[in-house]
Structure 1
């Protein structure tokens, strides 16, 4: 990261010094990483402690930052990321160069949807695209921190922070290998999963709780082969014939290349997907084209099953 100056009342502190100390754990290693003397590093740390009222605990020749210091580091890095993006935007405007659009989305949309989005943007503008992945919560964080211009997410969202455009709604589906017995059924119900090997999303996700409450209500104890923590991981296991999985219609569209089948599953939840941006954001022509590209990519995605 660049060595940028962070202004605080009465002082100007080189932000790379406290960052290096936090990561290295000692002034000696931080000095080596920065190419400056150890006393200079110590001086910067003392100045930071005095100015901001945070404390670095000294222990056996090591500096152990308290929670306030880690929070400062996180905020400094977010601020520097935003400054870097602002600097790049100003440079592009002054030089009439192409604009880079950053789009945040869960990584599963990199299979089908994001390539369609990029193709549309490339065909209509001279801009390139930076694709940033993360959970739905992280997508929102990327937007608010200025790391992403647009995002693909799901409702509910805080209307005080975000604006959005609808992309589509989806219900739950069961995905399975084409040779599976479920291919002959119109709908999969909880009791149908008795004895089935299941590839399941991590228990921290609400979808896991809904699916397993339905199974246990039907008197079926789930047989879990593998748990995954990110949509997209299940497709490989299911394609290999190692089990079935429950997702939703929009996620299932991303698995075209895996030759999987999808059938409705009951009970089901309803998911509302949206393209999001920071509330009050002013749209350039390129950003408008990018939003239209996301909407078009969702509306033209072929349904599976």
Structure 2
């Protein structure tokens, strides 16, 4: 059976039942007493029952009224609860944030930021996937995540890229290497050295290649590896030196190695917040992105050689491939 009643009807009915009369109920629901009486009559006509036993001093519920009161309270509570949950979502207080990030960012840069975020938004679930730079870009472009954090993508399409951090390239070697006693080295010092390189699929490969080209340095034997841990293991076994961003050094501490600042030139790897402006962004995700943009003014702990970049100075809309 189709019942043509609204929440307005139910709220009016509950008010009369709770107040025990029309006068007090009309003040509670902000309706004239005559309008409230018509509303109750509409309910009774629609349901073909009498809801109240009326006397000159008070109204009391009939058996049908008692049953309807239970149902009306349940319906109102369900409706109010649903819209409260929506309000929390709209204010970024609930929902899910999904993001993808470089492994070094996900393990070193993001944890204190996410901890702060969840202390402010305890009812929001954070879903984080890590990967290589191209994988992060693909996840954002295909809509699998709300936003990503990566080095500057080779193919940006319509993505917006905002530079939020940078880390300096550092030379690492085994504790037995002749560089181990040095406090710093220059790019020209690694001429002819055996070298442990990141694979082409890694964002680190490209930025290190830029440094080598700018210093016009040629290397000796080159061993390539995809994983940060593999590079660390090969270097600590004295199979070559390597050049890595400062952000990955904490991920190599299981191995014995020496790290030295690398200069002439000083080379940085830029870290970008990327997102698709045409994809709707959950409010909670916007809040987390704003926390990242406020990195320079935060107390988030970051490794030596890594720096936050003040927003919006580092922002750029990158719409070309």
Using the TM superposition, give the Cα deviation of residue 121 of structure 1 relative to its aligned residue in structure 2, in angstroms: 2.5
CA RMSD of aligned residues (A): 3.8
Rate the CA distance shift 1:209–1:157 in 2: closer, same or farther, 3 A. closer
Using the TM superposition, give the Cα deviation of residue 94 of structure 1 relative to its aligned residue in structure 2, in angstroms: 9.5
Aligned pairs (5 A) from 1:29-108: 93=86, 98-108=94-104
2:171 paired with 1:170: no
2:262 paired residue number: 264
2:287 paired residue number: 289
Distance 1:157 1:212 in 2: 19
1:222 paired residue number: 220
Distance 1:115 1:281 in 2: 25
8 Å contact from structure 1 (residues 107, 231) kept in 2: no
Distance 1:182 1:232 in 2: 21
- Per mean C-alpha deviation after superposition, the further-off stretch among 161-170 and 252-261 is 252-261
2:114 paired residue number: 118
Distance 1:239 1:98 in 2: 46
1:146 paired residue number: 143
Distance 1:180 1:110 in 2: 31
Rate the CA distance shift 1:290–1:189 in 2: closer, same or farther, 3 A. same
Aligned counterpart in structure 1 of residue 124 of structure 2, from 115, 122, 127: 127
Rate the CA distance shift 1:160–1:199 in 2: closer, same or farther, 3 A. closer
8 Å contact from structure 1 (residues 235, 255) kept in 2: yes
2:302 paired residue number: 301
Aligned pairs (5 A) from 1:230-249: 230-231=227-228, 233-239=230-236, 242-249=239-246
**Structure 1 portions without partners, runs of 5+:** 1-91
Distance 2:196 2:286 in 1: 39
Rate the CA distance shift 1:94–1:157 in 2: closer, same or farther, 3 A. farther
The DSSP-based 3-state class of the residue aligned with 2:145 is coil
The DSSP-based 3-state class of the residue aligned with 1:111 is helix
The DSSP-based 3-state class of the residue aligned with 2:302 is coil
2:200 paired with 1:200: no
Aligned positions, number: 211
Query: TM (normalized to structure 1)?
Result: 0.55
8 Å contact from structure 1 (residues 262, 304) kept in 2: no
**Structure 2 portions without partners, runs of 5+:** 1-84, 307-321
The DSSP-based 3-state class of the residue aligned with 1:148 is coil
The DSSP-based 3-state class of the residue aligned with 1:139 is helix
2:22 paired residue number: none
8 Å contact from structure 2 (residues 136, 148) kept in 1: yes
8 Å contact from structure 1 (residues 253, 301) kept in 2: no
Rate the CA distance shift 1:183–1:167 in 2: closer, same or farther, 3 A. farther
8 Å contact from structure 1 (residues 199, 244) kept in 2: yes
Distance 1:102 1:128 in 2: 8
8 Å contact from structure 2 (residues 161, 274) kept in 1: yes
Using the TM superposition, give the Cα deviation of residue 191 of structure 1 relative to its aligned residue in structure 2, in angstroms: 4.4
